[in-house]
Amino acid sequence: MSITERKERQRAERYELLLAAARDLAEAEGWDAVTTRRLAGLIDYSQPVIYSHFKGKADIMAAVATRGFEELAARLKMETASAHGAPDALRNACAAYLDFARARPVIYEAMFVLPTDLRFAEAETRPELRAGFEALAKVVAPFCADVEAATETLWAALHGLTELERSGRIRSTARDERIEIVARALIGSQKNSSPDRGS
């Protein structure tokens, strides 16, 4: 292995160490606790070393969020692949989304709640961010003519349910019923959007 390759590998390992430390610290104490100074102390690197990887805290959160989008997309694809038919795939996707948000609250917060420089619904949206949307769009497509708008609406509904449940404003025990209501609404939209519905 050349010196250049060794340095690149060490840099990649340090990057992963920083991400893991930031995620662990956020899970233990919340994102307010995540600072370059705290991270430097945790992993025994200087702040300038951290700044060689990240511009600052928002950049760190964006990196954690990006990994979260990769994980969410993988979960959605895995759960929908085992479904029996389009309605089950839709229900499985909704359940997988809500399960991910509940299991990974700190990552979810970085993905969807806290301010980052990540860009959505734009030409320069990163592929990791698009992957989750595309996984949802795939299960929405059999039921809606305007797949993009329907997928955005489904995502908004799931996010709203996530935040309301997380804050204790709705019952966590009624999650399955809510998934069924959301799924039925989308499945029913196929009939409502039929061009010959008035004939």
152-193 confidence digits (pLDDT tens): 999 999 999 999 999 999 998 999 999 999 999 999 876 555
Cα gap 91→113, rounded to integer Å: 24
Q: What is the DSSP string of 67-97?
A: HHHHHHHHHHHHHHHT-SSHHHHHHHHHHHH
Count of CB atoms situated within 10 Å of the CB of 123: 5
Architecture of the domain delimited by 58-192:
Orthogonal Bundle (1.10)
Query: Tokens in use for 180?
Result: 């069924």
Domain boundaries defined on the chain: 1-54, 58-192
CB 80 within 8 A of CB 94: no
Q: Which helix (H) or strand (E) holds 14?
A: helix 3-29
Cα gap 137→116, rounded to integer Å: 24
In single-letter form, the type of residue at position 48 comes to P
Condensed to tens digits (0 to 9), the pLDDT of residues 13-51 reads 999 999 999 999 999 999 999 999 999 999 888 999 999
- The top-level CATH class assigned to 1-54 is mainly alpha
